[in-house]
Amino acid sequence: MAHSYDVCILGAGPAALSVASRLVDLGREVAVVDRSVTVRPWGGESFTAAIRAPLAALGLWEAFAEAGHVRGYERQVAWGGDPVSESTIVQPGGHMWHVDRMRFDADLCRAVCRRDGVFLYRGKLRNIDRSATNWRLALDQGAELTARYLVDATGRSRALAKRLGARISFHDRLIGLVTMGPADSGSFRVAAMMIQSTPFGWWYAAPVPRGRVVALFTDADLAPPVVRQHLRPVPANSVFTDVPVEAGWLAVGDACVAHDPLCGWGVQRAMSNGILAADAIDDHLRTGRVSSLAAYRDHCRQQFEDYLAGMARHYGMEQRWPDAPFWARRINGAGAEKGV
């Protein structure tokens, strides 16, 4: 017999868990389906102080602040000219956070899935179909569940969006080539993050709890072979998923809007928009109207367009290699490459 829920969320990352936590606060029963896969550790990333707002809204800020992530007080940038050093203390909200993403995601999952009203399923989605009132999902371990509404929070894999035929627009071919190095006690004292542009992309390095993450960001076809041999590739391109408001589902986080890591907004926006998505879904389930869903979609679309314009301006600040393919593509502003 299938278990019934108000909302089923596919994925268990920050966006998914923000939706789940908010919906429970609104009195909904939520199923979170997390595919059981072995994930290789990939280091960490840097959050701005803006991460506090969504974590506090969900009652998760104190646990995060005490989890042992590295407080970042300095940013060293070589972009478009001579290197500069900036103190993050004077930035709005204060210092940055350099986090172990695997620990951050695991801590978030434990905190949210312990809550009454959240039901965690481990397994792969095998089949999905929709009746007049419900979605029916079959998982690979014999579990079946129904839900009035679905959420794709499967990250850059966009598993539900691809299965249901949403339009996905890709705006560049950026990848990150990532590795982890040993901790540097000197860098931990100031917890400095480094960003440096090169003719074929840009470097990022920051201290995280397990060591020091180093990544080269470049286009997939431009990565130097010697670098590919030693660093692991991860997707980092800008992508937007367009879902009709009448579809009975929506996308959040990277499944909806995937950002270039240069902006530093990915997780914070995933969580903030996850809260907005939950509010829109709750309104739709209560009233039957799609106006709240349309407002969420329009918000994400406008936010993405503003983000693309901002990224074009920032990449345009680097004028030293206008003929290098990586920079020429961004200076010329070719726009979206394709939609699927």
Which DSSP string corresponds to 185-251?
Answer: HHHHHHTEEEEEEETTEEEEEEEETTEEEEEEEEETTT--HHHHTTSEEEE---EEEE--GGGSEEE
DSSP state of 290: S
Mean pLDDT of 296-305: 97
Report how far apart the first and last C-alpha atoms of the chain are (Å, whole number): 36
User: What pLDDT score does 187 carry?
Assistant: 46
* Closest C-alpha to 250, from 129, 160, 138: 160
* Closest C-alpha to 57, from 278, 257, 250, 249: 278
Cα(245)–Cα(250) distance, integer angstroms: 8
Q: How many CB atoms lie within 10 A of CB 102?
A: 15
User: What pLDDT score does 36 carry?
Assistant: 62
Cα(227)–Cα(178) distance, integer angstroms: 10
**Would you state the structure tokens that stand for residue 221, as one six-digit string?**
């076809």
CA 78 to chain centre: 25
**Would you state the structure tokens that stand for residue 158, as one six-digit string?**
């966009």
52-61, 80-89, 151-160: least confident range = 80-89
Mean pLDDT of 39-49: 74
The pLDDT tens digits of the residues spanning 237-279 come to: 999 999 999 999 999 999 999 999 999 889 999 999 999 999 9
Tally of domains in the chain: 1
Q: Which residues contact 87 (CB under 8 A, 6 or more apart)?
A: 73, 74
CATH number at residue 324: 3.50.50.60
- In this structure, the chain runs to a length of 340
Q: How many CB atoms lie within 10 A of CB 80?
A: 13
Q: 229: burial class by Cβ within 10 Å (0-12, 13-18, 19+)?
A: exposed
User: What pLDDT score does 208 carry?
Assistant: 84
Q: How far is CA 94 from CA 48, 55, 71, in A?
A: 8, 16, 10
* Closest C-alpha to 58, from 278, 238, 208: 278
The pLDDT tens digits of the residues spanning 156-173 come to: 999 999 999 999 999 999
The range of the structural domain enclosing residue 120 comes to 3-339
Query: pTM here?
Result: 0.92
DSSP state of 69: P
Mean pLDDT of 165-186: 86
User: What pLDDT score does 185 carry?
Assistant: 59
C-alpha torsion 126→10→300→176, nearest 10? -90
| DSSP three-state, residue 289 | coil
